[in-house]
Amino acid sequence: MMPKVTLHHIALMVADLDAAIAFYRDALGIALEGAHDVDAEGVRVAFLPLHGDYANRPPAIELVQPTRLDTGVAKWMATHGQGMHHICVQVDDIDAAMKRASEHGATFTSAEPGRKSDGTRYVFIHPKTAFGALIELVQT
């Protein structure tokens, strides 16, 4: 049986969050859900949910602006510039998802899922094992 894999968000790295919010909201017409600082990660983020299935969480565009220079995302943007950074998919059981993925060659940026301040468990699949794309798994 196929597990339930839902798109949670697509993360875009931006240099100026307010300007990027204005573009995605005003130029594309995607409503802003909200923006906030995540001090522990050295970023300020905004979520813009796309129209979709509001019975579940609709997929969102997440805009991410680094607020410190010493983070992984700040270094990534210094190398790659602004643009698409990762795709986040939501799974029912992150431990089962990691086991399945590792049996098919995936490696992860940490051996165990981390935990966000709201309790969400998350892990990233290494892009070298996912055909160049950085994929985040979350279990909310």
What positions carry a catalytic annotation?
136
Residue 3 is a binding residue for a copy of itself (CB under 8 A): yes
Of the pair 5, 38, the CB lying nearest a copy of itself is at 5
* Distance spanning both ends of the chain, measured CA to CA: 21
Q: Quick check: 135 and 89 in contact, CB under 8 A? A: yes
| Residues 53 and 7 sit within 8 Å (Cβ to Cβ) | no
Q: Report the residue from 103, 110, 117, 118 that binds a copy of itself according to the rule CB under 8 A.
A: 103
Say what the alpha-carbon torsion angle 61, 133, 74, 76 is, to the nearest 10 degrees: -150
The tokens for 113 are 């899922």
Residues in the interface with a copy of itself (CB under 8 A) total 52
Judged by the rule CB under 8 A, the positions of this chain that interact with a copy of itself are: 2-7, 10, 12-15, 19-20, 22-23, 26-31, 50-53, 55-56, 58-59, 61, 63, 81-84, 86-87, 89, 97, 100-101, 103-106, 127, 130-135
